[in-house]
Amino acid sequence: MILHGHIDNKNQLWVPITVAGNQGRKEVTALIDTGFTGELLLPLHIAVPLGLKLAGASSCKLGDGSISKQMLFSASITWGTQTRDITVNVIDVEDALIGGGLLHGYVLTVDFQQKTLIVKEPGTDDPEVEFIENRP
């Protein structure tokens, strides 16, 4: 699986994913946040219309050291060519966040000079790179 994201003018890292619940699916551009240890955090305004299934609750340590109780939902996401079931934190924020939990087991390559961002499974070759390298 190879997924190309983009780097914006504030050097923030964005990746497109599709999130599916019981009532629909939606393509979301999510911010990679390595300070988030979960898999995916969705804003209420995105999560609610999708009909994500409530799975339970958990505690979450926030940036100011406080502990927040959060609801957890089940969702199916597609990123690149891969679909997987994940756990989603849902709170009242603006942007969707991808955390280290979702990136675990993948290779994240960020080139801030060329403004390129690639998420890939180990052992997956990028067709574009392979094509260039194999060209006579």
Partner 1 sequence: MTNDNNQENRFSLDEFSRQSEAYYSQIKKELESKYKGKYVAVDFVSKKYWLGETATEALTQAKAQSSPDRLFYLLQIGYPSSFSIQSITSRPYSHPKYDFAWSH
How far is residue 1's CA from residue 119's CA, in Å, rounded to a whole number? 8
In the complex, the smallest distance separating the C-beta of residue 47 from partner 1, rounded to whole angstroms, is: 7
* 68 touches partner 1 (CB under 8 A): yes
What is the total residue count of the chain?
136
8 Å CB contact between 76 and 83: yes
Task: Give, as ranges, the residues between 15 and 54 that touch partner 1 (CB under 8 A).
Answer: 21-23, 33, 35-39, 41, 44, 47-48, 50-54
How far, in Å, are 48, 82, 99, 105 from residue 34 at the CA level? 25, 21, 6, 14
How far, in Å, are 19, 20, 26, 54 from residue 23 at the CA level? 11, 8, 10, 13
How far is residue 89's CA from residue 99's CA, in Å, rounded to a whole number? 11
- Binding window for partner 1 (CB under 8 A); candidates: 3-11, 62-70, 109-117, 119-127: 62-70
Count, residues near partner 1 per rule CB under 8 A: 49
8 Å CB contact between 19 and 40: yes
Among 11, 92, 114, 133, binds partner 1 (CB under 8 A): 92
* 86 touches partner 1 (CB under 8 A): yes
Among 2, 7, 20, 60, binds partner 1 (CB under 8 A): 60
- Binding window for partner 1 (CB under 8 A); candidates: 3-11, 93-101, 112-120, 126-134: 93-101
Residues that bind partner 1 (CB under 8 A): 21-23, 33, 35-39, 41, 44, 47-48, 50-64, 66-74, 85-87, 89-93, 97, 99, 101, 104
